[in-house]
């Protein structure tokens, strides 16, 4: 990847970076992106953490970045960004409840938007999101949310195989008891980012600002369901029916809250979430829905800390008429996502041909192993496991390509609207 560009076209302005994803966008340099990075934010710990992260990337021994930081910290930081506009792309990763208002303000001033998920966390935000996309279209601006999980290798291969009817057949219709496609994710409040223990802002545990488990990480899962089950197809909100949904809390002790936020006490406006001396964080969510009649299920669990040697994990199942494609990421897989294929012996040669001919051509080194259980394992070289942090560079590169082209794929915007319709409808149902 090119370490900066000799003649830049795009200049990034980071607005109020409250989430570490804002820093990960700058973990590398990009061809065509100015090395000056503008930051407009209120002064405080969140800004200092962001600056420390970026300075760490600049000073690291291997492949250091060369960002030149221009920082404005006045209380009128938003007004100054919109008035001065030293760049043409705003980068957003922070409080989820105010993100859509930042988006609208930026678009109104003719600024492209590159935002971390979720763009919205409730029905009111969803209505604003539709207006935002209309405004972006009118002003010929590009708005994209950071769907990093499309770049995870096991997921990419699951999608590839699901698009081969000779191997997968067609996606089953499924049922509430046995969905045709399932996505489950386990995350952790306390973890390391870029080799340093992550300090989360206290508002991350306030669902009025962060959103519940139904509307946060589930954004990725719904996106992947759409991306894999209906690749390159335009989806509509009328094709979604959410029929089951629930949320429940993860309880944190005062000590755990202190450990992950570096704050001595729980803020007064969050005391309403405390029961029996435990902070009840409504971070877990599960819902079931149909998309074009296919039954799907998503589930997100948040624990405080992963077991030794483990991390965030992902499980994904797609049931076809000829094969079932399963991603597991447990202890047996060394906590790396691994793709397995279950299919009838009579179809095995089709799978062998698909891997040996098609996939190996696109992904050199990919191989196939038949296990004693009769299940097939897709063997993925370690070089393809570049990790969650590296996916931000990949999706940012893709966004810059879209900026050069002047448009995103025709399905991206309607499918993003359908995605957030799904998550916000699931929230409404869960709250009932």
Closest among 242, 206, 270 to 428, alpha carbons compared = 242
pLDDT band (50, 70, 90) for residue 197: confident
Q: Are strands 294-305 and 181-190 parallel, antiparallel or unpaired?
A: parallel
CATH 3.30.360.10 fits 150-386, yes or no: yes
What average pLDDT does this structure show over 220-249? 98
Give the single-character DSSP code of 152.
-
Which pLDDT score, from 0 to 100, does residue 2 have?
36
Tokens representing 402? Answer: 């879209």
405 alpha-carbon distance from chain centroid: 23
**pLDDT above 90: percentage of residues in the chain:** 91
pLDDT at residue 3, rounded to an integer: 35
pLDDT single digits (tens) 44-103 = 999 999 999 999 999 999 999 999 999 999 999 999 999 999 999 999 999 999 999 999
Alpha carbons 270 and 276: distance in angstroms, whole number = 14
The 10 Å Cβ neighbour count of residue 341 is 25
Query: What average pLDDT score do residues 338-353 get?
Result: 94
> What is the spatial distance between Cα 162 and Cα 322, in angstroms, rounded to a whole number?
10
Count, in order, helices (H) and strands (E) of the chain: 14, 18
Q: Given pLDDT bands bounded at 50, 70 and 90, which one contains residue 308? A: confident
Domain ranges in the chain are: 12-145, 150-386
Which pLDDT band, with edges at 50, 70 and 90, does 17 fall under? very high
Q: Is the preceding peptide bond at 118 cis, omega within 30 degrees of 0?
A: yes
DSSP letter string, 184-226: EEEEEEE-EETTEEPPPPGGGG-HHHH--TTTTTHHHHHHHHH
Given this model, what pLDDT does residue 213 score?
93
Q: Using DSSP bridges, classify how beta strands 143-145 and 192-193 pair: parallel, antiparallel or unpaired.
A: unpaired
In the chain, the largest separation of any two C-alpha atoms, in whole Å, equals 68
Nearest CA-CA partner of 149 in 217, 204, 214, 232: 217
Pair 284, 290: CB distance under 8 Å? no
- Give the model's pLDDT for residue 310: 81
Sign of CA dihedral 304, 308, 314, 315: negative
Check pLDDT > 50 for residue 6: no
374-390 pLDDT, tens digit per residue, is 999 999 999 999 988 99
Average pLDDT, the chain: 95
Tens digits of per-residue pLDDT, 269-295? 999 999 999 999 999 999 999 999 999
Across the range 226-231, mean pLDDT stands at 98
The model's pLDDT over 123-150, given as tens digits with 9 standing for 90+, comes to 999 999 999 999 999 999 999 999 999 9
Distances (CA, A) of 135 to 139, 165, 418: 6, 39, 18
Superfamily grouping for domain 12-145 = NAD(P)-binding Rossmann-like Domain (3.40.50.720)
Residue 4 has pLDDT above 70, yes or no: no
- Residue 1 pLDDT grade (very low, low, confident, very high; cuts 50, 70, 90): very low
- Confidence check: pLDDT of 16 > 90: yes
What is the DSSP code (8-state) at residue 51? H
On the CB side of 182, how many CA atoms lie within 13 Å of its CA? 17
């Amino acid at each position: 990847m090119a370490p900066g560009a000799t003649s830049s076209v795009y200049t990034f302005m980071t607005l109020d970076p409250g989430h570490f994803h804002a820093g990960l966008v700058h973990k590398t340099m990009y061809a065509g992106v100015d090395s000056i990075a503008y930051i407009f934010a209120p002064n405080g710990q969140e800004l200092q953490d962001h600056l420390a992260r970026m300075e760490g990337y600049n000073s690291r021994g291997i492949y250091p970045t060369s960002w030149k930081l221009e920082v404005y910290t006045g209380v009128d930081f938003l007004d100054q960004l919109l008035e001065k506009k030293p760049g043409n792309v705003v980068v957003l990763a922070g409080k989820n409840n105010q993100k859509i208002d930042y988006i609208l303000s930026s678009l109104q001033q003719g600024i492209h938007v590159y935002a971390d998920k979720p763009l919205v966390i409730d029905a009111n935000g969803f209505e604003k999101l539709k207006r935002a996309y209309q405004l972006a279209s009118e002003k010929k601006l590009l708005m994209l949310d950071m769907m990093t999980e499309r770049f995870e290798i096991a997921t990419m291969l699951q999608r590839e195989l699901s698009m081969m009817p000779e191997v997968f057949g067609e996606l089953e219709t499924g049922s509430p008891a046995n969905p045709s496609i399932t996505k489950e994710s386990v995350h952790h409040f306390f973890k390391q980012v870029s080799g340093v223990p992550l300090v989360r802002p206290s508002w991350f545990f306030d669902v009025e600002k962060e959103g519940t488990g139904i509307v946060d990480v589930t954004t990725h899962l719904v996106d992947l369901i759409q991306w894999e089950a209906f690749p390159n197809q335009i989806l509509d909100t009328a094709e979604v029916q959410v029929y089951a949904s629930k949320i429940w809390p993860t309880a944190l002790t005062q000590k755990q809250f202190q450990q992950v936020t570096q704050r001595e006490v729980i803020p007064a406006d969050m005391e309403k979430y405390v029961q029996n001396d435990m902070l009840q964080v409504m971070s877990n969510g599960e819902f079931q829905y149909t998309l074009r009649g296919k039954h799907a299920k998503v589930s997100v669990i948040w624990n405080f800390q992963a077991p030794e040697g483990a991390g965030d994990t992902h499980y994904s199942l797609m049931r076809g008429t000829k094969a079932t494609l399963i991603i597991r990421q447990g202890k047996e897989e060394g906590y790396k996502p691994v793709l397995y294929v279950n299919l009838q012996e009579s179809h095995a040669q089709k799978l062998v041909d698909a891997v040996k001919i098609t996939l190996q051509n696109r992904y050199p080194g990919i191989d196939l192993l038949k296990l004693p259980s009769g299940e097939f394992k897709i063997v993925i070289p370690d070089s393809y496991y570049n990790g969650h942090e590296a996916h931000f560079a990949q999706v940012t590169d893709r966004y810059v390509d879209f900026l050069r082209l002047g448009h995103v794929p025709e399905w991206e915007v309607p499918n993003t609207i359908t995605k957030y319709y799904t998550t916000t409808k699931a929230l409404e149902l869960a709250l009932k």
